[in-house]
Amino acid sequence: MGRERLYLYDTTLRDGQQTAGVQFAVSEKIAIARALDAIGIDYIEGGWPGANPTDSEFFAERPETRATFTAFGMTKRSGRSAANDEVLAAVMNAATPAVCLVGKTHDYHVTTALGLALDENISNIRASVEHVVASGREALFDAEHFFDGYKANPAYALECLRAAKDAGARWIVLCDTNGGTLPQEIGTIVTAVIAAGIPGDRLGIHCHDDTGQAVAGSLAAVLAGVRQVQGTLNGLGERCGNANLTSLIPTLLLKEPFRSQLETGITDAALAGLTKLSRKLDDILNRVPLRSAPYVGASAFTHKAGLHASAILKDPTTYEHIDPALVGNARLIPMSNQAGQSNLRARLASMGIEVDPKDARLGAILDEIKEREDRGYAYDGAQASFELLARRELGLLPEFFSVERYRVTVERRRDARGRMGHLSEAVVVVNIGGERRLSVSEGIVADGSDGGPVNALSKALAKDLGPYQCHIEDMKLVDFKVRITHGGTEAVTRVIIDSEDSKGLRWSTVGVSPNIVDASFEALLDAITWKLAREGVQPA
């Protein structure tokens, strides 16, 4: 017997944008839409065209997707026709294949927030959905405050849904807008809605995490029969966030009864890209990935308890509810050198370095990594620095040059015309094969203004490396990430620098220090050293 189709609807780009501190650029929205499409999400809600310049620009530039691209807006206001509502017109003008309109279904909100008669709200819902349908688009009705509305006045809340259904809405999305409805209550109310004549294959669920149960609430709705689930990557969203698709997707694909009864647009291969997708979003937002995140967190398969770790060695299923590889994650046993060493050998082999399993230097490298990670280093995102550390420990890294000293100055003062300006300057003294070289540089960016101390330092360092100059001249600094972290008891700064050469090769290095300039300097040094090692340059 065939499994029923369950549709996944992503609102990272709309509700996720309501996360405190999150502000997407257009280019970021494009990158996220592409990633969502690649994993097999059915609907991508891109934002609210007309509500702000970013969303308007994004819809104008939106990428082609296999997923159904959806614009969000609200039902028409009273006192004008759907065709003459300019807020709705801006949404329609985005020309997306689907349009989702939010409307009220809680009587109290209709009379208090909108100041409308109850039947007028119903006419607005009907006219708005009909308008979308008449334009040939797929219409979705987003039933705001549905669960609270149903509890207050079930007849009215259901009448709102029926109006949307009869007007031709493909989907009626039940929203727990305030996030306070508990899962078993969601299950009960969804069952009642279906019994009242709205079939489950036209119902969606939209939960928020205000009691920490958005995932459970969504699953309770699916068990009761809804066939569209809305959520966001990493649970972004207003207040405590939306239902986390990064948790929902593996549960729906891997766990019973969902696995046997439902099918989604996500393949097993796409599921194995989930951890990467989650990290990618954090990267774009420069957020620290949540280590404890279900399925995709760095700690999700970390076995710290001694008893667990030894049982895991005998049989991984003893303390793992799924195989981490299914979601692209990996097991981590912090205390076990056994598992650590085989990982390490695999990583070295990928660098072209074969090491005997019994080589004691494997343990030394692991110890060094652990000690450095305690101090705030992170080698996951800095492969080149990891490679240098391993090569150094194995005696495979020559010393190309040393830095005797540097000095960076930042000044802010008035210029000749009395305007405040700032200027950065760096002096670097290197020693190459016994010969000292002094370089000085200002931090200047494209428009001629000051680019800051790291820019100045980077330029001074790369200005005159004598015999190595020809190997580093095509290097440029393409990204620079800063994170305040904790090394031991003190806050330290971790800097990750991405460099690129003229062949398009890209590599990442890391530096850590309480001093941000010094952390950057360390990452810059690693970037140059890696390039020289990579090209097999002989030390002067």
Q: Is the Cβ of residue 451 or residue 467 nearer to a copy of itself in the bound state?
A: 451
Q: Say whether 449 sits in a helix, a strand or coil.
A: coil
Cβ neighbours of residue 479 under 8 Å, at least 6 residues apart?
Answer: 496, 497, 498
Q: Is the Cβ of residue 44 or residue 312 nearer to a copy of itself in the bound state?
A: 312
Residue 52: how many CB atoms within 10 A of its CB?
12
Q: How far is the CB of 483 from a copy of itself (least distance, A)?
A: 5
Measured between alpha carbons, how far is 200 from 7 in angstroms, rounded to an integer? 12
Q: How far is the CB of 380 from a copy of itself (least distance, A)?
A: 5
Do residues 488 and 374 lie in contact, with contact meaning Cβ atoms separated by under 8 Å?
yes
Q: How far is the CB of 76 from a copy of itself (least distance, A)?
A: 15
Q: Is the Cβ of residue 311 or residue 394 nearer to a copy of itself in the bound state?
A: 311
Measured between alpha carbons, how far is 267 from 275 in angstroms, rounded to an integer? 15
**E strands in 201-318:** 203-206, 228-231, 262-263
**Could you give phi then psi for residue 321, rounded to 5 degrees?**
-80, -20
Q: How far is the CB of 350 from a copy of itself (least distance, A)?
A: 16
Q: Is the Cβ of residue 202 or residue 231 nearer to a copy of itself in the bound state?
A: 231
Measured between alpha carbons, how far is 191 from 259 in angstroms, rounded to an integer? 21
Residue 159: how many CB atoms within 10 A of its CB?
18
Q: Give residue 164's identity as a one-letter amino acid code.
A: A
Q: Is the Cβ of residue 76 or residue 165 nearer to a copy of itself in the bound state?
A: 76
Of the candidates 45, 48, 131, 134, which has an alpha carbon nearest to the alpha carbon of residue 90? 48
Q: How far is the CB of 224 from a copy of itself (least distance, A)?
A: 11
Cβ burial of 44 (10 Å; 0-12, 13-18, 19+) is buried
Q: Is the Cβ of residue 162 or residue 481 nearer to a copy of itself in the bound state?
A: 481
Q: Is the Cβ of residue 170 or residue 372 nearer to a copy of itself in the bound state?
A: 372
Q: How far is the CB of 365 from a copy of itself (least distance, A)?
A: 17
Cβ burial of 321 (10 Å; 0-12, 13-18, 19+) is exposed
Q: How far is the CB of 42 from a copy of itself (least distance, A)?
A: 21
Do residues 532 and 471 lie in contact, with contact meaning Cβ atoms separated by under 8 Å?
yes
Q: How far is the CB of 468 from a copy of itself (least distance, A)?
A: 20
Q: Is the Cβ of residue 272 or residue 410 nearer to a copy of itself in the bound state?
A: 410
Do residues 510 and 382 lie in contact, with contact meaning Cβ atoms separated by under 8 Å?
yes
Q: Is the Cβ of residue 247 or residue 275 nearer to a copy of itself in the bound state?
A: 247
Measured between alpha carbons, how far is 164 from 146 in angstroms, rounded to an integer? 13
Q: How far is the CB of 413 from a copy of itself (least distance, A)?
A: 4
Measured between alpha carbons, how far is 424 from 333 in angstroms, rounded to an integer? 45
